[in-house]
Structures are given as structure tokens and as C-alpha cells.
Amino acid sequence: MSDRNNSSTSSDWCDSQCWSFLGFRLFLAFRWFFAGLDKFELDGSYSFANYYVNMDRMATGIAGSSILPLWSTKVFALPSGYLMLLLSLTLLLGIKIRLSLIVSLFLYLGLTVGMMAVNENSGIAWLAIHLLISVMALQMVKSAKWVLWKD
């Protein structure tokens, strides 16, 4: 009788894997939020105009310091801040979490390729950690609770 009660209690509520996944999910949501918000800042103010100045500067800098052509860095840079904010929202609210984590993986991979192209080793290491967190979260996505729209 006690085995039945213990098993139903652990499956009805959140077990350690559920809490671990929530930690990964919240970390990635806030990480994307602050990374995306940062793209809109210039000299202490936030605006859409600042966003396009910053993204153009980033794309031009990467293209100028690597073998990547300017058109490819602009194609990646221009939507990235908006995508980061969207990922933040979907992960925080629990909207299509599996899809959000897959998009996160590819965005982190794209950012890592940019860092590799300019030989920024410390940035590559930080992004690799974020990539691993995304992979671990994706492995645990079945433990997701508190979601608005399941995959």
C-alpha cells in the first residue's frame, strides 16, 4: 500500500528530473532574454534603431575578421536578437519547448561558428557550455511541467 502511495505521489508532482529540467529551461530563457535585450542597447538607451546599428556592426566585424562573406553574417545577425527574445518567451512560458530547444541548439551552433571564424576561443568555450545545457535540456524535455503549449 505504501509503495502505491509513494509512486503516485512522485509521478503526480515534480520529481528531481522535472526540477532539473525547469532549472535548465529557466536558465536558457533568461540567458536568451538578456542576450537579445543587449542587442537593442547602445550608449545606455534601447531602441530598434540601436538594434540595427549593433547588428550591422557585428556582421561587418565578423566578415572583416574572417573568411565569412558579409551577406552571410548579415543574414545571421539581423534576425538573431529577435529570435533570442522569442526563444526567451517560448521557454519561459512553455510554448513548444522541444522546438524552442532545437532552435536554441542551432542558434548556439551558429554563434559558435561565428566565434570560430574570428578565432575567439573564450567565446567558443562559453557558447559550448550553453550548447551542452541546451542538449541536456532537450534530453529531459519529457519531464516538462508548467507549460502552455506542449509539442
Reading the chain (151 residues) residue by residue, the pLDDT tens digits are 444 444 444 456 788 999 999 999 999 999 999 999 999 999 999 999 999 999 999 999 999 999 999 999 999 999 999 999 999 999 999 999 999 999 999 999 999 999 999 999 999 999 999 999 999 999 999 989 989 888 8
- Whether 12 is in a domain gets the answer no
Q: CA 111, CA 9: separation in Å to the nearest integer?
A: 42
> For 63-96, b where at least 16 C-beta lie within 10 A, e where not — what string?
beebebeeeebbebbbebbebbbbbbebbbebbb
- Whether 91 is in a domain gets the answer yes
pLDDT (0 to 100) of residue 150: 85
CA 62 to the chain's CA centroid: 21
- Whether 7 is in a domain gets the answer no
What's the pTM? 0.88
3-class state of residue 68 by DSSP: coil
- Whether 23 is in a domain gets the answer no
Residue for cell digits 543574414?
75
Range of the domain at 102: 28-143
In the chain, how many domains are there? 1
